[in-house]
Chains A and B, each alone.
Chain A
């Protein structure tokens, strides 16, 4: 498997991948399978020494062609080291290791004389930086190695003296490179070596004080060889941020050059491969895309562009700010800088408002809630029900006994046709008024008979109504118009005539016109009062227009209205609705509705009323024609007496039983 290992995140990628599938970093080109994989630098690992020449075969072809065709570097004359695995760029920083040989030292470093031909001691190099060793016995030797007038030589002599000027008794054996910029910031003590310091280095030493206003260097012959882009770098003022961020880097680029020889030496030294590709003739901004088809950024997918390091899209000051951003150490963004936004101040955070889940309930409401809960709980709780003890072992026997007594008391008078009870000595006032109203009717009067009772009370109604019919038929040849409010009462007029004929066969029957059923209930009463035949059939209407009913048009045309009812509500509705029509209203009511209708008699709205069997018996007595009321009277009286006796006996029995049971409880107690 020729997978490519990402140098940033360690992700295995396919051989043809250009960018890492995980972090989007640019992958190194695929190498043969036989080549050993180069060790990958991980965060926290210590870089190893690598030669920059090893990067040569890893460069893209277009880059090598560009360099070979345009600016052949002078280092090409030197033997090219064998291709090695891709080194880590940080390995260059540790090029001054103890095992560094002379062949591995670049020529430009040799010319600069920073490193001696024979290492005197093993410098301690760590990840923090490069440390220089200073030994008293080797100062002169080092100075001889450095070129005369070179700034590095004077630099080597400045540091110990500057340390001594600072009051230090024993100069430190090693000085971290990170502390090096502090020396130029303070003016060193005057010494002999100070004169050898070039002007541009002096300017560098004085730069922190007047960094933004760097005076332009005097034009020199060597300055003409400096390319324009390098001049632009030199003229570009450094921001204080940049100065603080990288004070240890020697200002090789951008520093004023006052000597032509120094510039020539600087240009003739071995330039790293990555720097050799840059030439004045080919500015970076004018790099044609067609010459580098492999890096056509336009072909990058959107997600790759989104994963690019932020410094790739930032320029100018923003790039410098990106360099200051913290580098990611872990995760898929390891090695990237400035990807995650880092806010200098924490985001504004406000504590969410706390809402209490406790209800705002007062004590009284709490008491009511507890009471309601207690009531609900009591409803579901089974409760023993105290039932009074019954001393009658069999209710059915008592019921049968009462039934037998009622049947005997009622059947015997009817069976023997007795007349043990006397006729009522006193007649109710409403009954007497009823008789007077009938007596005052004109001859051949037209009467309206309204039937509104249930079939269950037909026996009582017949007994109450028959005396009126006998009286009417004996004294007045009246014409009866019958209308039924109850559908079951339709045709009951024939029943009355049969009873009347059966009781008095020799008596002529009255003329009867049955209008039938009046639909609509109470709502139909006003309309019936205005148009009595509105609900009748065509046949009835024909009879209505012929004698003796041709003179009847409204309710007021009747000589009287006889309401036969056992329903107090309907009777009251009839009384209320017929009051405005100023017609004499007589009521034959069952006993159960008579007490409710009696007040209307006292108001004059009802002229007379027959309300019970005793009243009917009195009516028969006044007529001199005994009828059903007289036959029923003995049985009726017996039934009332029986009810009275049973009521008294039951009350006494209940009192005795209660007394007896209380005594038993007291004895048991």
Chain B
């Protein structure tokens, strides 16, 4: 019997999978051993990867490269400074030093997300919601669009937490809220089903790996 790396890795995977499954009988050392191994290996791998691909390839080597122009060197030094200042967030006393770096990151991310949401989600989704009501479409698409609009308005009505009690007690708002609650239930049910589907697929893959290891 040839003992290859694949067989050893398969054997290790087999035992680690059984260790994870042992959580069915409760918390036990095997489960903890597998979790610690996974967390430790992932952390080490990510640290090594980030150091190699970010710190070394994108910062240190270009800085030490004499062919790097001055402007690029300035930007690299500025990036290095901001990164070092961001490390000050570790200390409560030097926390404020890392604020500029965090502000830059948060500001850029917020700007990107907001612009992207407007261009890529809100306007296209509004257009798509109104598209079924085009005169060129058939009545079945009208019905589909009506359901989409009803679900959208009903969901918004359900989350109408106005301070005006008189407005809150109005009948049509309560009806819309009930319809929105129905759509929310269907949505969360579908999400739970897809979540179960993903977990079921992952479990099937693991059982298939175990069987494949036992019966290659």
Are the C-beta atoms of B198 and A577 separated by less than 8 Å? Answer: no
> For residue A399, which residues in chain B have a CB less than 8 angstroms away from its CB?
24
A636 near B204 with CB under 8 A, answer yes
Q: Which of B54, B61, B127, B206 contacts A519 (CB 8 A)?
A: B54
Q: Are B128 and A603 in contact (CB under 8 A)?
A: yes
* Chain B residues near A410 (CB-CB < 8 A): 200, 203-204, 207
Given A457-B202, A603-B128, A523-B49 contact (CB < 8 Å): no
Within 8 Å of chain B (Cβ to Cβ): is A538?
yes
**Bound: A631/B201 CA distance, A:** 11
Q: Which residue of A lies closest to B197 (CB)?
A: A591
**A540's closest neighbor in chain B, by CB?**
B57
Partner of B207, one of A411, A458, A537, A591: A411
Asked if B49 and A525 sit within 8 Å, CB to CB, the answer is no
Measured in the bound complex, the distance between the Cα atoms of B42 and A636 in whole Å is 29
What 0/1 readout, one digit per residue, does chain B (178-209) give for beta carbons within 8 Å of chain A? 00000000010011001111101111111111
- The answer on a CB contact under 8 Å between A487 and B45 is yes
In whole Å, how far is B214's beta carbon from the nearest beta carbon of chain A? Answer: 9
Choice from B125, B191, B196, B201 contacting A595 with Cβ under 8 Å: B191
Q: Is the interface of A mostly helix, strand, loop or mixed?
A: helix
Answer whether A457 and B198 are a contact pair too, CB < 8 Å, given A488-B42, A519-B53, A595-B190. yes
Interchain CB contact under 8 A, B24 and A613: no
Q: Which of B105, B109, B202 has a CB less than 8 Å from the CB of A456?
A: B202
Q: Distance in Å from the Cβ of A124 to the closest Cβ of chain B?
A: 98
Give Cα distance in the complex from A384 to B58, angstroms. 63
Is B149 in contact with chain A by the CB < 8 A criterion?
A: no
Contacts of B196 in A (CB 8 A): 643
How far, in angstroms, from A522 to B111 measured CA to CA in the complex?
11
Closest Cβ–Cβ distance, residue A521 to chain B (whole Å): 7
Query: Bound state CA distance, A140 and B133, in angstroms?
Result: 152
User: How many A-B pairs fall under 8 Å by CB?
Assistant: 143
B112 x A516 contact (CB < 8 A): no
User: Chain A contacts of B124 at CB under 8 A?
Assistant: 579, 600, 603-605
**With a CB–CB cut-off of 8 A, which chain A residues contact B197?**
591-592, 612-613, 636, 640
The CA-CA distance from A410 to B210 in the complex, in Å, is 12
Bound together, the chains give a CA A600 to CA B124 distance in angstroms of 8
Tell me, yes or no, whether B50 is within 8 Å of chain A by CB: yes
Which B88-110 residues sit within 8 Å CB-CB of chain A? 105, 108-109
Most buried by A among B46, B105, B128, B208: B208
Chain A: minimal CB distance from B150 (Å):
16
Stretch at the interface among A245-253, A386-394, A459-467, A470-478: A459-467
Q: Does A580 sit at the interface, judged by CB under 8 A?
A: yes
Q: How many residues on B have C-beta within 8 angstroms of the other chain's C-beta atoms?
A: 45
Cβ B207 vs Cβ A462 within 8 A: no
Q: For the complex, is B121 an interface residue (Cβ under 8 Å from A)? A: yes
Residues of B within 8 A of A415 (CB): 211, 215
SS class, residues of chain B in contact with chain A: helix
* A residues less than 8 Å from B143 (CB atoms): none
Taking the closest CB of chain B, its distance from the CB of A618, in whole angstroms, is 15
Chain B residue at minimal CB-CB distance from A566: B198
Q: Judge if B119 is at the interface, Cβ distance under 8 Å.
A: yes
Please name all residues of chain A whose beta carbon is closer than 8 Å to the beta carbon of B127 when the two chains form the complex. Answer: 603
Min CB distance B26 to A, Å, is 9
- Asked if A590 is at the interface of the complex by the 8 Å CB criterion, the answer is yes
Q: Are A632 and B205 in contact (CB under 8 A)?
A: yes
Q: Pick the contact of B45 from A488, A593, A594, A636 — CB < 8 Å?
A: A488
Q: In chain A, residues 551-586, which have Cβ atoms closer than 8 Å to a Cβ of chain B?
A: 566, 572-573, 575-577, 579-580
**Is B120 engaged at the interface, CB distance under 8 Å to the other chain?**
yes
**A457-B202, A487-B45, A636-B204 known; A591 vs B194 contact (CB < 8 Å):** yes
Hey, which chain B residues are within 8 Å of A406, CB to CB?
203
Chain B CB within 10 Å — which of A523, A577, A594, A631 has the most? A523
Give the complex CA separation of A521 and B113 in angstroms. 11
| Given A490-B49, A603-B127, A632-B201: 16 more A-B contacts, CB < 8 Å | A410-B207, A414-B211, A459-B205, A460-B201, A463-B205, A488-B42, A517-B49, A517-B53, A522-B109, A576-B121, A577-B120, A579-B120, A591-B197, A592-B191, A595-B187, A605-B120
Which residues of A are at the interface with B, using a C-beta cutoff of 8 A? Answer: 399-400, 403, 406-407, 410-411, 414-415, 455-460, 462-463, 487-488, 490, 516-517, 519, 521-523, 525-526, 535-538, 566, 572-573, 575-577, 579-580, 590-595, 599-600, 602-605, 612-613, 631-632, 635-636, 639-640, 643
A-B contact pairs, 9 of them (CB 8 A): A411-B211, A487-B50, A490-B53, A523-B108, A575-B120, A580-B119, A595-B191, A603-B127, A632-B208
Please give me the 6 A-B residue pairs with the lowest Cβ-Cβ distance, nearest first: A459-B205, A576-B120, A576-B116, A460-B201, A591-B197, A537-B57
